[in-house]
Copies of this chain bind each other. A is one copy, B any other.
Amino acid sequence: MFDKFREECGVFGVFGHPEAANLTYLGLYALQHRGQESAGIVSSDSRILRSHRQMGLVADIFNEDILSKLTGCSAIGHVRYSTAGSSLLKNAQPFVVSYSQGGIAVAHNGNLVNAGLMRHELEEGGSIFQSTMDTEIVVHLMATSRASSLVERIIGALSRIKGAYSLLFLTEREMVAVRDPHGFHPLVLGRLKGTYIVSSETCALDLIEAEYIREIEPGEILLIDDHGLTSYKPFTPLNKCCIFELVYFSRPDSNIFGRNVYAVRKEMGRQLARENPVDADIVIPVPDSGIPAAIGYAEESSIPFEMGLIRNHYVGRTFIEPQQSIRHFGAKIKLNPVKDFLRGKRVIVIDDSIVRGTTSHKIINMIRNAGAREIHVRISSPPTAHPCFYGIDTPAKTELIASFHTVSEINRFITSDSLEYLSIEGLRESVKNGGCGFCDACFTGEYPIEPPVDLDSRQLTLFEREIVI
């Protein structure tokens, strides 16, 4: 799946390690798939916060010189993939300010649903804003709080906001990890000897060889300071984990929501084969995201698995478009079919989802031109017919092909010989073992929090008063 949904962020934090910024850098490296637009690290040496934020990839932003200046034993980091129009350095995170209690940095994964309303109210009260991130609202709420302790200020602020948030706060002497009551996005706790680690996904714990302890629970506020861990649970947990994290976003080598992502995806493929069998010669994935489901499908159907599409690993961030005459170029630059192998074959193509349908169309064409006899597309999740308001950057409803088209219309549009999706029941079945409930609003339209009507989160752009050039 290319250029379809975009996860908005990943967060990572370290408390109590002499190489805190270095470990955070490595953690962000492992979470790079959650955001490629900008990245940042803030460290604390108990006296002052030091920050570095920049547009670009983690590997390009940080070097030894910069990391060596991010001194101190605690640090938090962030990778970001913002929505269009706000992809600016001023919106890069972690966000850092000074307020009456000292300095505070915050890294946020998710999206607030009542951000517009809250910002309006704060500005009326005399607050000035320097970014258009909903995250800035949380800090203003903390600053105007009368509470005396950090955790109380955080609780006060969170009780005013609605939406999805996995948050990491860093002050001179404390780190706080927060997961919203629904528990939309993952956030896990790990340990590296005496050091506590917090990360969006477990794959980042693996890289630094930290031990996995547990998930931050929905509604939990976890304070980490020199006294160790203190857990606060002021909010009733609602257990609505984002099912799309399992379908597409998280890395297959991560364990989130009590499940191994690779195993869950393979099970989706198996279930897909049971629901939608078809006679064919080979099963091929759209790499890399379709690989686990394709392996599951191949196993269940006993049809051979093949890598019929090869991915170019050197695709840069900028690419110069060639003349119009090269058809389906956008897909071609990333994928190339193994022509000799596909020629004359009946092919099952496995992908995890279809958003606009244009990329699928290009891929089908490439396979067709390579000489495939039949092309049967099987999607390891139900049709994505509803936009997300909780931190997944889906296109507007009008651009989601499944919002207004039947499966058979989509099949015609992408020119496959047949197209089938995994059913919502099949999807739920595939993820059933593990304990938490799920938000599957993108498939069902059943939103656990009322989507914003008037001054919604998307309308924070209404507050855009400065365009930085």
Contacts and interface: CB of A to CB of B under 8 A. Distances in A.
A174 to B, nearest CB: 14
Interface string A290-324: 01100100010000111100111111111110110
Contacts of A25: 320
Contacts of A84: none
A86 interface: no
Contact of A30 (B26, B203, B252, B312): B312
Contacts of A340: 255, 260, 262-263
A59 B319 contact: yes
B19 A50 contact: no
Interface in A123-146: 123-130, 132, 139-140, 143-145
A292 B304 CA distance: 12
Contacts of A336: 30, 203, 206-207, 251, 253
Interface in A108-158: 123-130, 132, 139-140, 143-145
Given A50-B469, A52-B468, 8 more contacts: A50-B467, A59-B319, A102-B465, A103-B465, A207-B326, A263-B338, A295-B307, A313-B313
Contacts of A252: 307, 310, 338
Interface of A: 19, 22-23, 25-26, 29-30, 32-33, 36, 42, 48-52, 57-60, 62-64, 66-67, 69-70, 96-100, 102-103, 105, 123-130, 132, 139-140, 143-145, 172, 203, 206-209, 251-253, 255, 260, 262-263, 288, 291-292, 295, 299, 304-307, 310-320, 322-323, 325-327, 332-333, 336-341, 463-469
B315 A464 contact: no
7 contacts: A30-B312, A49-B467, A123-B143, A126-B144, A252-B310, A260-B339, A295-B307
A25 to B, nearest CB: 7
Contact of A48 (B58, B203, B338, B465): B465
Nearest to A261: B338
A337 to B, nearest CB: 7
Most buried by B among A260, A338, A469: A469
A466 B98 CA distance: 8
A291 B288 CA distance: 12
A38 B125 CA distance: 33
Most buried by B among A52, A66, A128, A314: A128
Contacts of A123: 98-100, 143
Most buried by B among A130, A252, A304: A130
A312 B128 CA distance: 39
Contacts of A465: 48-49, 96-98, 102-103, 172
B322 A60 contact: no
A113 B315 CA distance: 35
Contacts of A125: 126
Contacts of A63: 318, 320
B100 A60 contact: no
Nearest to A255: B340
Contacts of A326: 26, 207-209
A393 to B, nearest CB: 19
A51 B468 contact: yes
A363 to B, nearest CB: 14
B51 A466 contact: yes
A288 B262 contact: no
Contacts of A172: 465
Contacts of A306: 295
